[in-house]
Amino acid sequence: MKKGFVVFAACLLVVLVFFGSMQLMGASAKGASSVDPAKYLKGKTIRVVIGSTAVTGDTYLTADLVTRMISQKYGCRIKVDPIGAGRALEQIVTTKADGSTIMMFHDMTYLGVLFGAYKEADYKLEKMVVGGTFGYNPGDCFAASASAPYKTIKEMADWMKANPNQTVRLAVEAGGVSQLGFNSIYGWIKDTYGADVASRLKAFVTGSTDEKLQALWDGNCQGIYAATSAIEEYTKEGVDAQLKVNIIGLMAGQRVEGRTWPTFAEQGITLNGKPYAFTKEYFVFYPTGISKEYVAAMDAAMEAVCNSAEYKAEIEKLGYKAQFMDSEDANDHIYEKREAFRKLIEDAPSFDDLVG
């Protein structure tokens, strides 16, 4: 009888702990959802620093769109300040946690640290609070001249193997998504075709998409990294033969809707033994010590805006896609991405050795 009572009590305790934890989880979620953004954000002035200085680039365009819609909907004043990656990172780890300054940026936030462009001790993710996501770029890609003897990255690698005296240069920027893409191609070619073939894949370092295209047209490189939205006009029929390009590989895990451009994964390119997939996503970041109410209010405001038909239509006009993920899920997601690509970056040769 005593033994039976002990078993019963133990089971009861497990049940109570389980339901107690569920109630706590519910209270936490309920607490977050109970923050009314219309009341919390009304009248607030918020400066959003971004990791770009260009007002025509993807970071500015997406951040400006979501902040304008939040401002209009909730009666606050949110202004995007394009101060560049280094200054934006410095701001978010040193600013007061009163919500007057926050950051919006993409995967460069952690990639810049992994590539060594910024000190990990100063600017790692643990030095800030990860907020939600508000969009992604489905079109990060590599393109080559339409006159090139290959239409895909795999065909490019096959051609390099068959032509041992040929070198292929891909125009990229150092320390970000384009370098990640380059390293991915290099690592896959080395594993699949051997170090000799991979050694003839070189990085041509340059800046904006316009500069990359000009380098391609001038014959300084044979391929470029870009966003499909920025170069699609040069893929169409009727474009001057010297200017026309083919998109030879999408970094994202799926094709752009309505387009036939091949993905890395479809070509057999892998990462850690799995089909390769990388999608540039746009996140909110807060200074450490930010209040839970502030994050909850922004989560609620972003969810309402990002799920609206108006926002989805407007961001798609810019060439991007709407996406909402709350701060908790976004935090788990970005840390997983960071660790997934850490080994790829650490195993790659020094970028100086890859430049040619």
CATH number of the domain that 332 lies in?
Answer: 3.40.190.150
How far from 182 is each of 35, 69, 86, CA to CA, in Å?
44, 35, 22
The verdict on 169 and 78 lying in the same domain is: no
**330-345: average pLDDT:** 94
The verdict on 245 and 294 lying in the same domain is: no
The verdict on 226 and 289 lying in the same domain is: no
The verdict on 261 and 185 lying in the same domain is: yes
What are 17-38's pLDDT values in tens digits? 333 333 333 333 334 457 999 9
**76-104: average pLDDT:** 97
- Would residue 26 count as lying in a domain? no
* Rounded Cα gap, residues 219 and 215, in angstroms: 6
277, 292, 316 - which closes a domain = 277
For residue 273, what pLDDT band results from cuts at 50, 70 and 90?
A: confident
The verdict on 214 and 294 lying in the same domain is: no
* Rounded Cα gap, residues 38 and 71, in angstroms: 10
- Would residue 300 count as lying in a domain? yes
277, 301, 331 - which closes a domain = 277
* Rounded Cα gap, residues 338 and 193, in angstroms: 27
- pLDDT given for residue 6 in this prediction: 37
- Would residue 11 count as lying in a domain? no
- pLDDT given for residue 344 in this prediction: 87
Rg over alpha carbons for the chain, rounded to the nearest Å, is: 23
Q: Measure CA of the first residue to CA of the last residue in the chain; give whole Å.
A: 81
Query: Maximum Cα–Cα distance for the chain, whole Å?
Result: 90
Residue 111 identity (one-letter amino acid): L
- Would residue 22 count as lying in a domain? no
59 contact partners, CB below 8 Å, separation of at least 6: 50, 51, 52, 82, 104, 105, 106, 282
- Would residue 147 count as lying in a domain? yes
- pLDDT given for residue 18 in this prediction: 34
CATH of the domain at 188: 3.40.190.10
**215-236: average pLDDT:** 96
Model pTM score: 0.84
Task: Print the domain residue range for 116.
Answer: 37-137+279-344
Cα 319 from chain centroid? 14
Which is nearest to 261 in space by CA: 251, 273, 275? Answer: 251
Report the number of distinct structural domains present in the chain. Answer: 2
The verdict on 88 and 68 lying in the same domain is: yes
- Would residue 123 count as lying in a domain? yes
- pLDDT given for residue 33 in this prediction: 53
* Rounded Cα gap, residues 9 and 61, in angstroms: 59
The verdict on 182 and 65 lying in the same domain is: no
